[in-house]
Structure 1
Amino acid sequence: MQRRGLINQTTDDEGLRKHLDEKVVTLYCGFDPTADSLHIGHLVPMLMLKRFQQAGHRPVALIGGGTGMIGDPSGRSTERQLNDLQTVQHFSDRIKEQLASILNFDEGENAAVARNNYEWLSQMSVIDFLRDTGKHFGINYMLAKDSVESRLENGISFTEFSYMILQSVDFLNLYEKENCTLQIGGSDQWGNITAGMELIRRTKSGEEQEAKAFGLTVPLITKADGTKFGKTAGGAVWLDPEQTSPYEFYQFWVNTDDRDVIKFLKYFTFLSFEEIDELEKSLEQEPEKRVPHKRLAEEMTKLVHGDEALEQAQRITEALFSGDIASLNGKEIEQGFKDVPSTTFPVEEIGLVDALVEAKIASSKRQAREDIQNGAVYINGERNQDLAYVLTEEDRMDGTFVIIRRGKKKYFVLRFE
């Protein structure tokens, strides 16, 4: 992991190495349900859990059904919007499904387990919280943490101020119930992780033995062009295929900047260093072929969405590149032309000239006729220069779609319903 650049900080590098060599270690990472899907910003810690699992250790995926109702101040300049219990529980269920697609929860000594901190946090009374936990945290200690200090200027509520203590309770609870001795997270979680270790040290160290707990953070992922990783013009890149289609997901990775692609292959894939070295040579010698980019997109789409979705994304990509639109089915058209202008027509025949005007592909009938005569109009990938042409049921792919292309790159979807 160090060679891949995946380790930002550890609380005790030498001690942690020894600890991992001595036995099967139970470790955890928390995921707060602030939406009904995780996004690719969550992938590095998710895949870190998988890397530890592949090395024989036991991962705990902690879903923050309790902390998700409070709000983590880390990495934010303003308060989070609070969601009600029903919403958070719905988000929690969806996130558990996504974690199960990456981690092995089914078999072996080190099968992953999912836990939800709502189980224990919801049972804690205010008096228990203040007496048994709050007394171990000095205000000065908490104010010095980056997640709190960075928010003091703009203001932070007591609710979010207490988040650090609640996350510390999680580490203590998993230490007691699961023998969990390592917490991992993003670099913005360092203060929360070390606070949890401090709570374990204070409450679990005996006269003769210091309690063993460790923390490890992964680096904040940055892009070479300075833009935020995981964001596109359409917003976040979600793991849910309904929110970000497998084709869009594939395209995100295949369009990775040349300066980032090798780094991302190390961060996100399980390819060997030998293969990554070969891909780096390909990038240097034949950059126009974009071999590393395609390999990255293949690995990530297959990992998150499976083989069938990868094949579908590749078919759409190839069809759009070659112009062979007619080979696509309805679902693939929905994905590949999601952001293309679309017009709905009743299920009846319509002349091509009228269709171009009605769909605002041409500004007037005269313009439509000129475009057709000049060979600038394509129906489902085929050039059509017939001014009297009528769009019939035979033109509708999957019984619904007609794809019009005007010129080289301007696509339009006619949907017959």
Structure 2
Amino acid sequence: MASVYDILLERGYIKQVTHEEEIKELLEKEKVTFYIGFDPTADSLHVGHFVQMMVMAHMQKEGHKPIALIGGGTAMIGDPSGKSDMRKMMTKEQIQHNADCFKVQFSKLIDFNDEKAIMANNGDWLLGLNYVEFLREVGVHFSVNRMLTAECYKQRLEKGLTFLEFNYMLMQGYDFLELNRRYGCVLQMGGDDQWSNILSGVDLIRRKESKPAFGMTFTLLTTSEGKKMGKTEKGALWLDAEKTSPYEFYQYWRNVGDADVEKCLALLTFLPMDEVRRLGALEGAEINEAKKVLAFEVTKLIHGEEEAQKAKTAAEALFAGGQDMSSVPTVTIEKGELSCNVLDLLVNTKILPSKSEGRRLVQQGGLTINDEKITDINSEITEEYFQDGSILIRRGKKNYNRIILK
């Protein structure tokens, strides 16, 4: 019978591991406690966190115990990993609110009942630290020379790395040590951009406690061209329905590139791998069937089956020229807001982020209103456009928005 390590490997999650043979044996023979850290800088998780949630779900299904660690202490410093600028610091109240929002989203994939999973906050131990004691206990095990070779610091050194951020690796290493002491946590997992930080924690436990500790990173969610997935015209693809509607969420996955379908099915759904490979092998027009399955399965996991079905029905009805608008992203405006041209309307209603984006769309022939192609960026949108009090805007082939006039 396959262990969770084999499952993660077959589905394409695993990128790097610290002690491959030992981890394989450990996950096969024992039930382990592991953790993944989440930065509470927004009030919703986004698609970048989805892979990590799926890994936690796979691990829990095989009997292992997840700890979702909220960086309540480290968010007061800011993580330099993958960032060219310093992050803004946050209040304890903001962090707690965001953590509460995360737990609701985690609970769609992970069971927190009966301590099957734990949600912890590193502020509980970091914020009360005595600085001199911390340096003596933890700082003594970190080589500055080695830290400066880490990728996360190299990028920031070009713009200027603050001493505040330089402490981040020590803090994350200490998190692993603290979770090991409190909960017997032996494995830290995370995105591949966290490799240096994960190594620091593994090394700290092995030096200080003379105990085995392990690290594993997963593939970052990228397109076949190597670009990060989950970016839309409006910004990140959020898991919160208020920030990204289930319809927009569905449409994003419905429109992924052909080359990315199989990878997304493997990483972001629980479909058996035989089915993933069958769908991924479809070609030409048939690949659209695989994309529909992907969009439905992913939307179902995050927003529930009912919302996934509504999004699917709406997408198919619109694509076929039907009239089911119930799940199309909709904004309502007052009649007084209407005296404007098409670009102003799209930007004012936040359908597009900028007028330059709108100009490009019109110039490329990608904007239609009520099935009428807009060719002039100065077109005035009047009440006459609003059939039955609303207009339907299509961007490109498959992105729809509706504006209702009050």
TM-score calculated relative to the size of structure 1: 0.79
Output the aligned Cα RMSD: 2.8
Query: Are the aligned partners of 1:343 and 1:359 in contact in 2 as well (CA < 8 Å)?
Result: no
SS in 2 for 1:114: strand
Which residue identity does 1:263 align to in structure 2?
A: K
1:88 aligned residue: 95
C-alpha distance in structure 1 between counterparts of 2:86 and 2:404, whole Å = 43
**Distance 1:228-1:23 versus aligned 2 partners, 3 A rule:** closer
Give the SS at the match of 1:290. helix
Indicate yes or no: 2:59 matched with 1:77: no
Query: Which amino acid is 2:318 matched to?
Result: L
C-alpha change, 1:294 and 1:132, in structure 2 (3 Å) is same
Secondary structure of the 1:3 match is: helix
Inter-CA distance 377–9: structure 2 relative to 1 (3 Å threshold): closer
Helix, strand or coil: the match of 1:239?
coil
Residue 110 of structure 2 aligns with an amino acid whose one-letter code is: L
Give a deviation string over 1:294-331, Cα, whole Å, max 9, x none: 11111110001111111221122123123332x434xx
Distance in 1 between residues matched to 2:98 and 2:27, nearest whole Å: 33
Q: In the alignment, does 2:160 pair up with 1:125? A: no
2:209 corresponds to: 204
Deviation string, structure 1 residues 211-249 (Cα, Å, up to 9, x no partner): 110000002232124533111122110111111110000
Encode CA deviations 1:5-25: one digit per residue, 9 max, x unaligned: 211110011000111122110
Counterpart mapping for 1:369-388 below 5 A: none
Equivalent pairs, count: 360
The answer to which of 74-83 and 258-267 deviates more is 74-83
The CA distance in 1 between the partners of 2:23 and 2:181, in whole Å, is 19
Match of 2:64 in 1: 57
Aligned equivalent of 1:208: none
Instruction: Decide which of 178, 184, 188 is 1:183's aligned counterpart.
Output: 188
Which structure 2 segments of 5+ residues have no match?
1-7, 343-367, 372-382
Any conservation in 1 of the 2:258–2:287 contact (CA below 8 Å)?
no
Q: What residue number does 2:404 align with?
A: 415
| Partner in structure 1 of residue 354 of structure 2 | none
Q: Is the CA contact 2:186–2:214 (under 8 Å) kept in the aligned structure 1?
A: yes
Q: Which residue of 2 aligns with 1:249?
A: 249
1:345 aligns with 2:335: yes
**2:179, 2:185 within 8 Å by CA — same for their partners in 1?**
yes
Give the ranges of 4+ consecutive aligned residues of structure 1 lying more than 6 Å apart after TM superposition.
376-379, 408-412
Tell me the distance in 1 between the aligned counterparts of 2:27 and 2:369: 64
Q: Which residue of 1 aligns with 2:199?
A: 194
Contact map agreement 2:191 2:219 (CA 8 A) in 1? yes
User: Which deviates the most, 229-238 or 140-149?
Assistant: 140-149
Residue of structure 2 equivalent to 1:13: 20
CA offsets per residue over residues 14-71 of structure 1, 9 Å max, x none? 0001111221100110001111111101111111111111111111111111111111
Corresponding residue number in structure 2 for 1:151: 156
Q: CA separation in 1, counterparts of 2:393 and 2:120?
A: 51
The one-letter code of the counterpart of 2:321 is G
226 and 18 in structure 1: CA distance in 2 versus 1, 3 angstrom threshold: closer
What does residue range 164-179 of structure 1 map to in structure 2 within 5 Å? Answer: 164-179=169-184
Q: Distance in 2 between matches of 1:87 and 1:9?
A: 33
Q: 1:199 Cα shift? A: 1.2
C-alpha separation in 2, matches of 1:78 and 1:280: 38
Normalising by structure 2, we get a TM-score of 0.81
Is 92-101 or 174-183 further displaced after alignment? 92-101
Query: What SS does structure 2 have at the residue aligned with 1:274?
Result: helix
Match status 1:160 vs 2:189 = no
Question: 2:239·2:302 contact (CA, 8 Å) conserved in 1?
Answer: yes
Summarize the alignment of residues 265-280 of structure 1 with structure 2, pairs less than 5 Å apart: 265-280=265-280
Which one-letter code corresponds to 1:14 in the other structure?
E
> What residue identity is the alignment partner of 1:154?
K
Are 2:59 and 2:66, in contact at CA under 8 Å, matched by a contact in 1?
yes
Alignment of 1:225-236 (within 5 A): 225-236=225-236
* Partner in structure 2 of residue 315 of structure 1: 313
CA distance in 1, matches of 2:370, 2:190: 51
Give the partner amino acid of 2:44: S
Aligned-residue identity in percent:
43
Once the two structures are superposed, residues 153-184 of structure 1 have per-residue CA deviations (whole angstroms, 9 ceiling, x without a partner) of 22100111100011111101110111100000
Show the 5 A alignment for 1:382-401.
Answer: 396=388, 401=389
Q: Distance in 2 between matches of 1:274 and 1:298?
A: 18
